[in-house]
Structure 1
Amino acid sequence: MNDRDSLVRLLDLDDEFVIDLKYATSDNFTQKKIYNSSECYINKDTAKLLIKAKEIFKRDGYRVKVWDVYRPISAQRLMYEIIPDNNLVATPPDMSKPIDFEYSHMNGMSVDITLLDLDGNEIEMPTEFDDFTEMAGLKCDKIPPIAKKNAEYLRDIMESVGFEGYDYEWWHFNDITNDPTPYSDIQFE
């Protein structure tokens, strides 16, 4: 299977997701448009898990907004050039050397999401997307109780279907159910 075969357009599988790819616009922490396309691509096996979670959220009265999934290696490199801080942006991989692949945006196996009510309004969460303060981590004791409850609910459902949350970003989840696939630099138009 090649890289393109492992990635699918999320809305082709399920059109109930709200797609707001932040890096397809300048409305992100880099303040630059990073992606060529606003189409949301995802690893096909990771998509199955995300759809399973979406069904639980829907049953409970929520919709899912997707901020980021697949990120080409070149986009990761560009983000790192703009913000060369490994605490904020992962160092792009050196693909000229053998590497062990992990769950990543670069293979479409990491997702950045939030929840909306059925009218399309974002529910209260600890921070906005790509907030690099301590408030983005659920261990912070300054988070308002309703925001913490909502973020913990998001994490609990995502983990119940096979994702793992990231301690420092309440919105970021890695698919830990499926084997990591190679990173890709496919550009979608």
Structure 2
Amino acid sequence: MSDKDSLVRLLDLDPEFIIDIKYATDNNFTKQRVYNFNDCYLNKDTAILLIKAKKIFKKDGYKVKVWDAYRPIRAQKLLFEIVPIDDFVATPPDMRKPIIFEYSHMNGLSVDITLVDSNGNELEMPTEFDDFTEMAGLGCDKIPPQARKNAEYLKSVMESVGFKAYRNEWWHFNDVVTKATPYSDVEFN
């Protein structure tokens, strides 16, 4: 199976997601376009887990907005060059060496999301996307109560279907059910 075959376009499986891939625009912390594609791609099993979560959110009156999903290795390298802080931007792999693959954006096993209400307004969350301050982690005691409640709800639902929240970013979830696959550098047009 090729790298492209292991990834699926989320909207082909379920058209009810709001796709706002931040790195396909200059509306991100780099202030430049990092991806040459603006669709959301995920590992197929990860996409199925996300659809399960979406169904729960939908029953509660919310929609899911996806900010990031599959990320090519070259994009990971660029992001790390800009912010070389491993707690926020993972160190890119040296693919010339043997590697143990983990859940990652680079194999479509990680997703960055938020929730929107029935009018399309994003729910109040602890920070904006890609905030590199302590406020981005749910352990911070300065988070306003409603923002904490919304982020904890998001985390609870995502973890109930097989994702694990990343401690430093309220928006980042890793599929810990699916076996990790090799990282990819394929780009979609």
**Normalised TM-score (structure 1):** 0.98
| Number of equivalences | 189
**Could you say which residue in structure 2 is the equivalent of 1:159?**
159
Question: After superposition, where does 1:115-154 map in structure 2 within 5 Å?
Answer: 115-154=115-154
In structure 1, give the amino acid aligned to 2:155.
Answer: R
**Could you say which residue in structure 2 is the equivalent of 1:92?**
92
Provide the rounded CA distance (Å) in 1 between the counterparts of 2:47 and 2:88.
26
In structure 2, give the amino acid aligned to 1:22.
Answer: K
Is 1:37 matched up with 2:37? yes
**Normalised TM-score (structure 2):** 0.98
Provide the rounded CA distance (Å) in 2 between the counterparts of 1:31 and 1:94.
26
Is 1:169 matched up with 2:131? no
**Could you say which residue in structure 1 is the equivalent of 2:52?**
52
Provide the rounded CA distance (Å) in 2 between the counterparts of 1:152 and 1:91.
27
Q: How big is each residue's C-alpha offset from its partner over 1:130-184, in whole Å with a ceiling of 9 and x where there is no partner?
A: 0011111111111000100000000000000000001110000000011001000
Mark the runs of 5 or more structure 1 residues left unpaired by the alignment: none
Provide the rounded CA distance (Å) in 1 between the counterparts of 2:83 and 2:23.
14
In structure 2, give the amino acid aligned to 1:7.
Answer: L
Is 1:106 matched up with 2:114? no
Q: 1:86, CA displacement in angstroms?
A: 2.7
**Could you say which residue in structure 2 is the equivalent of 1:71?**
71
Q: 1:39, CA displacement in angstroms?
A: 0.9
Identify which range, 78-87 or 177-186, moves more after superposition: 78-87
In structure 2, give the amino acid aligned to 1:43.
Answer: N
Provide the rounded CA distance (Å) in 1 between the counterparts of 2:12 and 2:86.
34
**Could you say which residue in structure 1 is the equivalent of 2:2?**
2
**Could you say which residue in structure 2 is the equivalent of 1:28?**
28
In structure 2, give the amino acid aligned to 1:171.
Answer: W
Provide the rounded CA distance (Å) in 2 between the counterparts of 1:134 and 1:80.
19
Q: 1:82, CA displacement in angstroms?
A: 2.3
Provide the rounded CA distance (Å) in 2 between the counterparts of 1:18 and 1:32.
22
Q: How big is each residue's C-alpha offset from its partner over 1:49-103, in whole Å with a ceiling of 9 and x where there is no partner?
A: 0000000000000000000000000110111222233333211100011100000
Determine if contact 2:88/2:168 at 8 Å carries over to the other structure: no
